[in-house]
Amino acid sequence: MVKHFVIVLLSVNFLWGTNVYEKNCVSCHNTLPVSIDKYFYRYLLKYSSKTNVKAAMINYLNIPTQQHTIMPDAFINRFGIKKPTTLSAVQLDKAIDIYWKKYKIFGKLK
């Protein structure tokens, strides 16, 4: 009985205890040799503002192509282009907002 309760408790925590970013983005990116923050910095260098970064990320995640990626050709040749996201527009927006808040440098530099 206790064993079943622990399993249910862990399942509930996994399903509701993690946010859309942790559950859908980090879980896959943890398997790649490039940490997830490096993608953020590449987007920031290329697109500069929150609005432009988010728009570029949404565009790429919905329609991932070689032309839309910020990763170098060698990375794409080794790991390929990801599949389009299965997240809804609301979930994707929320995930990118969490990602932005986690890695943004604005207001953190002194």
**Could you report the per-residue pLDDT of 10-49, keeping only the tens digit for each?**
444 445 557 998 998 888 787 877 888 888 999 999 999 9
Residue 86, pLDDT > 50, answer yes
Tokens of 30: 């943890």
pLDDT of 4 > 70? The answer is no
Number of neighbours of residue 77 by Cβ within 10 angstroms:
9
pTM for this entry: 0.74
- How is residue 93 written in tokens? 């927006």
Q: Which residues, including other chains, have CB under 8 Å from residue 34's CB and lie 6 or more apart?
A: 71, 75
**E strands of the chain, at which residues?**
none
DSSP state of 81: P
Q: Provide Rg for the chain, Cα atoms.
A: 16
Structure-block tokens of residue 77:
């040749």
Residue 52: band (very low, low, confident or very high) from pLDDT cuts 50, 70, 90: very high
